[in-house]
Amino acid sequence: MNAIVAEDLQQDATELLQRLIRCNTVNPPGNERVLQEQLAADLRDAGFDVALRGAQPERPNLVARLRGIADGPTLCLLSHVDTVLATPADWTHDPWSGDLADGFVWGRGAQDMKSQTAAEVAAALSLARSGWRPARGDLLVVVVVDEEVGGELGAIWMCEHHPDLVRCDYLLNEGAGAVIPYDGERLYGVCVAEKGVFRFRVLTDGIAGHASIPKIGDNALLKMAPLLARMGERQPGYDLTEGPRALLEGLGLEVNGGVGGVEFALERLRANDPGLALLVEPMLGVTLAPTRIWGSEKINVIPASAELRVDCRVPPGLGEEHALTRIREVLGDDGYRLEFTEQVVGNASPVSSPLMDAIEGWLRVNDPGCRVVPTILPGFTDSRTFRDAFPECVAYGFFPQRHMNLYETSPLIHAADERIDARDLGFAATFFHDICKELLGG
């Protein structure tokens, strides 16, 4: 790509991100319609077939398709435009200002993830306005709502009610891409999988009594203490799936043997880069995080029952039986009752694919000497929904940032002073522009 086109892409993506940030789409309530209608008009004017579909009038999802000349794969550029809340008093720049200051665009969504919307849409508009059309297959730009609270009105609703509109073979979404400085190298993570969610509650039973006589009853809340202590002392054993294994190998930490090999690899990583080890460890197995607890409804009553809520994440492809085994490995079998409150099996895409090849090829040219490593997300994104709906779809999380690294971007997500280097907007927009031509031709 010539320098003038790249410069134009950076300017277009920056201006578009500023515009998106200035639309307050904190969810709830979301209120994404105004923003979505503006994007729809831009894409329609550039030659895309555009549809707005939603479960609620003020919260439509946008689907824009640029049809190819011949049959071929559909590449989907996916993003969401709802955000979490922000408290202006905590910010250097107003969270809905979209200020361009000191080389950064500031505001809620600058990292999560209106920046990716801006880069993807700017790239798509540049291609379409230049007269480019896919030689084979279609380019799909999908901008959804409601991701921050689970996606029921967004990706989930679209895949259930309008699957033919959003069906795709390749998908690029959020989840990774900020450069990782490691052992003198520059690594780019590509998120190939997402863990499942198996949240549960732990219940203990006792006998009520007057709190002025502590031993008169049987305090159910005290029975939670050893369970909490066990979760504080350790996590379950590791379950190494394809993505994390490839990540460890990419870091030069080849795993030989079973659990002991994983522990040895992780210890080497901790010694070399404690910050990266902290992020990698949750990818390697089931995790348990107690987050809420209840006892008596009255301060002067010894509780006859107590309830603890635990956020449990499980490696992709593993279900309830495996989750239970790992939970009991930590909590034991006695002294409590357990009930799952949420069960969603995680999923993954292959580490090797034409899409991965295209990402690696682009980075070799645009950041010589860097390397790509697969990662998995301890949380989840809308990619999980698309993999469930379209099992053959290869879905990766990748938004390349070269000037801000992972340790600079991660603390800004859902936090005050969220911002992005404008040069990274241009870098990402250039990637999306080039990857469309690489995969779809023309």
pLDDT tens-digit map of 222-261:
999 999 999 999 999 999 999 999 999 999 998 876 667 8
369: left (phi over 0), alpha (psi -120 to 50) or beta: left
DSSP state, 372?
E
Question: What's the confidence (pLDDT) of residue 6?
Answer: 85
Helix, strand, coil distribution of the chain in percent, nearest 5: 40, 25, 35
Q: Which residue has the tokens 């409804």?
A: 297
DSSP per residue, 306-359: EEEEEEEEE-TT--HHHHHHHHHHHH-SSS-EEEES--B--EE--SSSHHHHHH
pLDDT tens string 130-177: 999 999 999 999 999 999 999 999 999 999 999 999 999 999 999 999
Question: What's the confidence (pLDDT) of residue 442?
Answer: 87
Q: What is the share, in percent, of the chain residues with pLDDT greater than 90?
A: 96
pLDDT tens string 376-393: 999 899 999 999 999 999
Mean local confidence (pLDDT), 196-201:
97
31: left (phi over 0), alpha (psi -120 to 50) or beta: left
Question: What's the confidence (pLDDT) of residue 108?
Answer: 98
Averaged pLDDT of the chain = 96
Question: What's the confidence (pLDDT) of residue 5?
Answer: 79
Question: What's the confidence (pLDDT) of residue 81?
Answer: 98
Please measure the distance between the N-terminal and C-terminal CA atoms of the chain and give it in whole angstroms. Answer: 14
Mean local confidence (pLDDT), 88-93:
98
Domains 3-183+347-440 and 196-340 share a fold: no
pLDDT tens string 31-59: 999 999 999 999 999 999 999 999 999 99
Delimit the domains of the chain by residue range: 3-183+347-440, 196-340
Question: What's the confidence (pLDDT) of residue 254?
Answer: 85
Question: What's the confidence (pLDDT) of residue 258?
Answer: 64
Ranges of H-type helices in 186-304: 225-233, 242-250, 259-272, 274-280
> How far, in Å, CA of 436 to CA of 134, rounded?
8
Class of domain 196-340 (CATH, top level): alpha beta
Question: What's the confidence (pLDDT) of residue 3?
Answer: 77
Mean local confidence (pLDDT), 205-220:
96
pLDDT tens string 99-132: 999 999 999 999 999 999 999 999 999 999 999 9
User: What kind of architecture, by CATH, is found in domain 3-183+347-440?
Assistant: 3-Layer(aba) Sandwich (3.40)
Minimal CA–CA distance to 404: which of 182, 189, 180, 247?
180
